[in-house]
Amino acid sequence: MASLKDVADLAGVGVGTVSRVVNNHVSVKPKTREKVMEAIKALNYIPNEVARNFKMQRSNMVALLLPTIWNPFFSELAFYIEDELDHAGFKLLLCNSGGKPSKELYYFDVLNQNKVAGILGITYNDIDSSIDTQIPIVSIDRHFSKSITCVTSDNYAGGRMALRELVKAGAKKPAFVGVVTSVYSETMLRKMGFVDEAAALGVDCLVYEEPDPVADEGQFFRNFLNRAEHREADGVFAITDMFAAQYIDQVGSYGIRVPEDVKVIGYDGIQNSALFHPILSTIRQPVEEMARMSVQLLLRKIDGQEPEELTYRLPVEFRPGETT
């Protein structure tokens, strides 16, 4: 692996000059900068971020803690977060926890020791006592016992919206299917909004939940459908698009057709390609806006400015598809 001295020797300059180029110092002449950049490219030199951060006493690394990168919602969120950080001159360190509390605690310990500039986090586990607010943190969806800024979509309004759309599509016996997390999360408001809107409209609704995390979503829906009253539901609002897709996959084996026999609405809006069928009706979260706002709020915290609000809820919208 090429070193700073290797680059300096190839460019015919001092090591200090290379360091100034790497750190975008304005004092370097354009021709000199060009020579150094050509040497960096030729040697495929990669700056040692840890060493640079130690010397500068300021990190340009921001950690993003996700339950899983496999979920398309989290992947899309990570894409826009990285893009916004890049525009601001920061680099992203991705921490994929698999939803395991032990792994999340490990990551927080490592991040605290290495002093990243800040942390963006999504966690549904009880790890409050291990959160060090000495490092700026912005949470997505989750509230902590400590004063940590949270960015989320308007889950409650989304739940109400889903109930109204199912009724509008003709559903008389709508059902909510989802999970219960061990700690409070804004995602729980999806069910609350659904149930409250049903009560406001005088509609009887069903609620089916299992503890999070669900090890086997296929079995989850078989458990749901094995109850006769659940098979009579003619409208289903699933807590996520992935849950909605699993329901649609399972329901056919019971002779139930979508949308002829049952209307289905998900939550997230992750299906952006018309190549997928059926196209899911869903409550679309403003993923890009959530991502960019989270970064902007974190950067303000890094600069020592506290955001005006503790929770930022962004509006959602109904995106009709072929399942209603």
236 shares its domain with 90 = no
131 shares its domain with 248 = no
Report if residue 293 sits inside a domain. Answer: yes
Chain-centroid distance, C-alpha 273: 20
pLDDT at 160: 98
pLDDT at 40: 86
Q: Is the pLDDT of residue 53 over 60?
A: no
User: Tell me, what CATH number does 213's domain have?
Assistant: 3.40.50.2300
pLDDT at 115: 72
d(CA 5, CA 98): 40
Give CA torsion, residues 193, 196, 202, 208, to 10 deg.
70
Report if residue 319 sits inside a domain. Answer: no
186 shares its domain with 252 = yes
pLDDT at 275: 58
The helix/strand/coil state of 153 is strand
Structural domain range at position 168: 155-285
Our count of domains for the chain comes to 3
Partners of 263 in beta bridges: 235
What would the pLDDT profile of 181-192 be if each residue is shown by its tens digit?
A: 877 789 999 999
Q: Is the pLDDT of residue 223 over 80?
A: yes
- In the block, tokens 């300021």 appear at 58
Report if residue 323 sits inside a domain. Answer: no
What would the pLDDT profile of 280-322 be if each residue is shown by its tens digit?
A: 999 999 999 999 999 999 999 988 888 889 899 999 999 999 9
257 shares its domain with 194 = yes
Top-confidence residue, 21 or 266: 266
d(CA 213, CA 193): 22
Q: Is the pLDDT of residue 122 over 90?
A: no
Provide mean pLDDT across the span 142-167.
90
> What is the residue-averaged pLDDT of the chain?
87
Residue 44, number of CB atoms within 10 A of its CB: 8
Q: Is the pLDDT of residue 148 over 90?
A: no
pLDDT at 117: 87
111 shares its domain with 45 = no
The model's confidence at residue 130, banded by pLDDT at 50, 70 and 90, is low
**Angle, helix 15-22 to helix 30-43, in steps of 10 degrees:** 90
The helix/strand/coil state of 68 is coil
H or E stretch at 75:
helix 72-87
d(CA 121, CA 165): 32
Please count the CA atoms within 13 angstroms of the CA of 268 that sit on its side-chain side.
21
d(CA 195, CA 324): 19
33 shares its domain with 74 = no
Report which residue type is found at 253.
Answer: S
257 shares its domain with 291 = no
pLDDT at 54: 46
241 shares its domain with 165 = yes
Question: Which tokens hold the place of 149?
Answer: 């800024």
197 shares its domain with 275 = yes
The model's confidence at residue 55, banded by pLDDT at 50, 70 and 90, is very low
229 shares its domain with 112 = no
Q: Is the pLDDT of residue 105 over 90?
A: no
Provide mean pLDDT across the span 72-86.
93
Query: Residue 86: which of 60, 49, 65, 111 has the closest Cα?
Result: 60
Report if residue 322 sits inside a domain. Answer: no
User: Tell me, what CATH number does 15's domain have?
Assistant: 1.10.260.40
142 shares its domain with 186 = no
Question: Given CA atoms 31, 34, 40, 43 in this order, what sign does their dihedral have?
Answer: negative
Top-confidence residue, 266 or 217: 266
User: Do 39 and 48 meet the contact criterion of CB atoms below 8 Å apart?
Assistant: no
Q: Is the pLDDT of residue 151 over 80?
A: yes
d(CA 285, CA 72): 12
Report if residue 324 sits inside a domain. Answer: no
Report if residue 231 sits inside a domain. Answer: yes
- Please state the pTM of the whole predicted model: 0.78
| End position of a domain, from candidates 56, 80, 100 | 56
The helix/strand/coil state of 310 is coil
Provide mean pLDDT across the span 121-145.
74
Report if residue 83 sits inside a domain. Answer: yes
Report if residue 321 sits inside a domain. Answer: no
145 shares its domain with 213 = no
